[in-house]
């Protein structure tokens, strides 16, 4: 069965279900026809900056962004 083989496959690649479903959603978005395709792809932009804290001090924040600075 294809689905049962797929689960350990992406899980063992270090992905969570969220990443997996996002990848799938993105694939579906790319299947749309043109005016809707760019619209839906520009809507889903990621931008945030995260920083880990170690012993009460923030480490250097890593910015994750789809849009060019």
CB closer to another protein, 25 vs 32:
25
At residue 64, φ and ψ (nearest 5 deg) are -115, 120
Least distance to another protein, CB of residue 48, Å: 5
Encoded tokens for 36: 């809707």
Least distance to another protein, CB of residue 9, Å: 12
Q: Which residues bind another protein (CB under 8 A)?
A: 1, 3-4, 7, 11, 16-19, 21-22, 25-26, 43-53, 55-58, 61, 63-64, 67
At residue 5, φ and ψ (nearest 5 deg) are -75, -30
Residue 69 CB coordination number (10 Å): 5
């Amino acid at each position: 069965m294809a689905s049962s083989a797929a689960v350990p496959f992406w899980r063992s690649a270090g992905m969570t279900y969220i990443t997996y479903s996002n990848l799938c959603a993105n694939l579906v978005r790319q299947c749309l026809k043109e005016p809707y395709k760019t619209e839906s792809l520009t809507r889903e932009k990621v931008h945030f900056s995260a920083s880990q804290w170690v012993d009460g001090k923030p480490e250097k924040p890593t910015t994750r962004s789809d849009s060019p600075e």
